[in-house]
Amino acid sequence: MRHTIAIALFVLCGGVSTAHAGLYTDDMSRCLVEATSKEDKATLVRWIFVALSQNPSISSLSTATAADIDKYNAAVGALFMRLLTDACVDKTKKAIKYEGPAAIQASFEVLGRVASSELFSDPKVSAVMAGLEKYVDTKKLETLKDSGP
C-alpha cells in the first residue's frame, strides 16, 4: 500500500499517465473531486508546485524552503487520508476490491488534472500563456500542414 500511495502522489505531480479506469475507479474519482474544496485543490497545486520547484532546472525561480516542503507534504498527506479513509472510504474500498490498488493512482490522477485545470483557467495564468503567441511564427507553422511527410 505504501508503494501505491507513493505512485498516487507521483501521479498528482503529472509523473505518468495511468491505464484504463473501471466503473469503481470512476466512482472513486468523482468522489475525490466532489469531496475537495477549492482550497483543497489549491493546496494540491501548491504542493505540486513546491515539489516541481525542487528540480535543478527551475529551482532558481522558487523561494520554497524546507519548511514549505514539509508544510505542503503534511497538508496533502492529511487531505489524502481524509479523502481515502473518510470522505470516500466506501468508494475507495470498492475500487480497490474490484479493480486493485491502481484505482488509487488513477483516481488521484483525475483529481490532479481537475486541480490543475482550475489553475490554468485563472485569467492571469491564461494571459501569460497567451503571451507565447507573439513569439510563434504562425506563417511558418502553416507551411507544415502543406508539406507532406
pLDDT tens string 83-137: 999 999 999 999 999 999 999 999 999 999 999 888 888 899 888 888 888 898 8
What's the longest Cα–Cα distance across the chain? 56
Exposed, middle or buried by CB within 10 Å (0-12, 13-18, 19+), for 76?
buried
Total residues found in the chain within this entry: 149
pLDDT recorded at residue 94:
97
- pLDDT, averaged across the chain: 86
- The residue whose grid cell reads 516542503 is 69
pLDDT at residue 49 is higher than 80: yes
Percent of the chain scored above 70 by pLDDT?
Answer: 85
pLDDT at residue 7 is higher than 70: no
More confident residue, 31 or 125: 31
Residue pair 11/108 in contact by the 8 Å Cβ criterion:
yes
pLDDT band at 147 (very low <50, low <70, confident <90, very high): low
pLDDT at residue 54 is higher than 80: yes
Residue pair 42/125 in contact by the 8 Å Cβ criterion:
no
The DSSP annotation for 48-77 comes to HHHHHTTSTTTGGG----HHHHHHHHHHHH
pLDDT recorded at residue 136:
87
Cell of 46: 501548491
